[in-house]
């Protein structure tokens, strides 16, 4: 399987190609004190539109940035000038963080060709390529939805997976948060983990320069975490963002039976009917 990544050099050659849509997906955790949209306006890859993760979401749900309804996503993507048939390249300001979530969102809703810029905006800047500031004006398009519900899990799906063992649940949070030894970035939530879930911190899949590790390294990381790569897998994290990094890595090595727990730990830990553990 072709890795769902493109290089900064390739991206530079595509600037001005109307069939390639560039999406800035920069988003930060509540405790990071950064504003993705403000940073986008200060400087972004020429022609890139900004994808607001917290706004293109189900705003009726109290959980953060849950997937929007299909028609809502179609409207939002169309207003960004993106069609499902376009070549879509997503990046973020960290290297590889929130871009994976937007990559996953586009694929869930049926985009035919979605990639992530390897190394993100830092890789682009390291090449000395141009940056532009301010908003971008686009021509609206029609985004035709082909939603695949099998790629999205809710808490009932995860409960069933953990109870039956039919699917593995792999958590992308840090080991300290998973074990209940460090606080969550959302202070109202306890740390800990779902009984029976496995832990692979997303950072173990990313090189120091913000690029996704090689396929052999990805396989090794999952196997070291106790993940049977022949099994169906559901990824999870704090709120469904870094879980998508695990999904991107699994997709990269050819794993196809994947879902993502959209509510993730934020939903699980806030429900009285969902058991929690704080030790391995």
Angle between helices 215-224 and 243-252 (to 10 degrees): 120
- Is 36 within the bounds of a domain? yes
Residues 212 and 141 in one domain: no
Chain center to CA of 132? 25
Residues 178 and 92 in one domain: no
Q: Whose structure tokens read 């993502």?
A: 260
Q: Whose structure tokens read 């790569």?
A: 229
- C-alpha 210/C-alpha 191 separation (Å) is 26
- Is 275 within the bounds of a domain? no
What is the rounded (10 degree) CA torsion for 193, 195, 199, 201? -10
End-to-end CA distance of the chain: 34
Q: What is the mean pLDDT of the chain?
A: 95
- Cα torsion 190, 195, 197, 198: sign: positive
Residue 276: predicted pLDDT: 94
Residues 142 and 163 in one domain: no
- Is 280 within the bounds of a domain? no
Q: Identify the active-site residue in 25, 88, 198, 237.
A: 237
The set of residues, in sequence order, having a beta carbon less than 8 Å from that of 201 and lying 6+ positions away, is 172, 173, 174, 175, 178
- C-alpha 92/C-alpha 116 separation (Å) is 9
Q: In this predicted model, what pLDDT tens digit does every residue of 125-176 receive, in sequence order?
A: 999 999 999 999 999 999 999 999 999 999 999 999 999 999 999 999 999 9
The set of residues, in sequence order, having a beta carbon less than 8 Å from that of 113 and lying 6+ positions away, is 85, 86, 87, 88
Residues 135 and 29 in one domain: yes
127 is catalytic: no
Residue 1 has pLDDT above 60, yes or no: no
Q: Whose structure tokens read 């920069």?
A: 26
Angle between helices 99-108 and 243-252 (to 10 degrees): 70
- Identify the bridge partners of residue 171 per DSSP, sorted by sequence position: 199, 236
| 5-22 average pLDDT score | 95
- C-alpha 280/C-alpha 270 separation (Å) is 21
- C-alpha 165/C-alpha 160 separation (Å) is 8
Domain span holding position 20: 5-147
CA atoms within 13 A on the CB side of 280: 10
Q: Which residue has the higher pLDDT, 3 or 190?
A: 190
Domain-ending residue, one of 121, 147, 173: 147
Residues 199 and 143 in one domain: no
Q: How many domains does the chain have?
A: 2
Task: Provide the percentage of residues in the chain whose pLDDT is more than 90.
Answer: 93
Residue 2: predicted pLDDT: 60
Residues 102 and 209 in one domain: no
Q: In this predicted model, what pLDDT tens digit does every residue of 60-71 receive, in sequence order?
A: 999 999 999 999
Residues 137 and 33 in one domain: yes
Chain center to CA of 151? 13
Instruction: Specify the length of the chain in residues.
Output: 280
Residue 30: predicted pLDDT: 78
| 235-251 average pLDDT score | 97
Residues 87 and 208 in one domain: no
- Secondary structure class of 23 (helix, strand, coil): strand
Residues 143 and 36 in one domain: yes
**Of the candidates 121, 115, 114, the residue with the CA atom closest to the CA atom of residue 27:** 121
Task: Write out the two tokens for 199.
Answer: 């832990």
Residues 119 and 170 in one domain: no
CATH code of the domain in which 194 resides: 3.40.250.10
Residues 233-263 as b or e (16 or more Cβ within 10 Å = b): bbbbbbbbbbbbbbbbbbbbbebeebbbbbb
Domain-ending residue, one of 96, 115, 147: 147
């Amino acid at each position: 399987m072709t890795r769902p990544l493109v290089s900064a050099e390739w991206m530079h050659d595509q600037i001005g190609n109307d069939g390639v849509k560039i999406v800035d997906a920069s988003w930060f955790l509540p405790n990071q004190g950064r504003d993705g949209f403000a940073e986008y306006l200060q400087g972004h890859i020429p022609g890139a539109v900004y994808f607001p993760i917290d706004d293109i979401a189900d705003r009726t749900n109290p959980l953060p940035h849950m997937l929007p309804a299909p028609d809502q996503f179609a409207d939002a993507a169309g207003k960004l000038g993106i069609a499902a048939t376009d070549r879509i390249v997503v990046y973020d300001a960290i290297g590889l963080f929130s871009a994976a979530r937007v990559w996953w969102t586009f694929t869930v809703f049926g985009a035919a060709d979605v990639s992530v810029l390897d190394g993100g905006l830092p890789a682009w800047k390291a090449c000395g390529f141009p940056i532009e500031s301010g908003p971008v004006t686009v021509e609206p398009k029609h985004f035709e939805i082909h939603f695949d519900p099998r790629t999205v899990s809710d808490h009932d799906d995860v409960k069933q997976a953990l109870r039956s063992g039919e699917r593995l649940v792999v958590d992308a949070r840090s080991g300290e948060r998973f074990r209940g030894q460090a606080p969550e970035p959302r202070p109202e939530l306890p740390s800990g983990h779902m009984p029976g879930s496995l832990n692979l911190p997303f950072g173990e899949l990313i090189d120091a320069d913000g690029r996704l590790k090689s396929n052999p390294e990805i396989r090794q990381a999952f196997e070291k975490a106790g993940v049977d790569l022949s099994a169906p897998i559901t990824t999870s994290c704090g709120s469904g963002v870094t879980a998508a990094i695990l999904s991107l890595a699994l997709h990269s090595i050819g794993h196809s039976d994947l879902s993502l727990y959209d509510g993730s730990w934020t939903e699980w830990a806030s429900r009285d009917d969902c058991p929690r553990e704080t030790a391995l």
